Amino acid sequence: MSINVVKQYSVFLINEPGALKNFAELFVRDNVGLIAISQDVRYDAAVVRLAVPYDQEISHALTKAGFTSVKTDAICIDAHDRVGLARDIGAVLFDQGINITSIYGAAGPGNISRWIVVVNDITKALNALESSNLFE
């Protein structure tokens, strides 16, 4: 199990064929490895949330390419996948009065799941998650 702070960028795209492909080409060109990506589409607009390593700074590249974005610190949790893990992450944070503003994740090979969690108090959330027994 690991818990790390990463950067999440919320980027606004036009909802049309090829928009995500063209957007993703920026990361190939700038050699940026994505930790996670999520997209929400509403009518003619989309919000893409992507997590990158904390030491990767891509704000300038996004602005230069004409994208509007919002940068936020997020928590990346890699843990053994099990039924109820998302509920238990939510419970640990709820017990500390921490609000989750965004969460997305998936299970991968080797029974490991990755969760990206954005909260209203990242320091308090990190302390709560690290001191919990969720990942034993």
> 7-34, pLDDT tens digit by residue?
999 999 988 899 889 999 998 988 888 9
| Sheet containing 112-119: order of strands | 36-42, 45-53, 2-14, 69-80, 112-119, 100-108
pLDDT, tens digit (0-9, with 9 covering 90-100), for 125-135: 999 999 998 87
Q: What distance in Å separates the CA atoms of residue 113 and residue 107, rounded to the nearest whole number?
A: 4
Residue 110: its pLDDT value, please? 81
Per-residue pLDDT tens over the stretch 69-98 = 999 999 999 999 999 999 999 999 999 999
Please report the DSSP string for 94-116 in residue order.
Answer: HHTTPPEEEEEEEEEGGGEEEEE
Q: Are 47 and 118 in contact (CB under 8 A)?
A: no
For residue 17, give both structure tokens.
Answer: 């064929």
Residue 27 and residue 34 in contact, taking contact as beta carbons nearer than 8 Å = yes
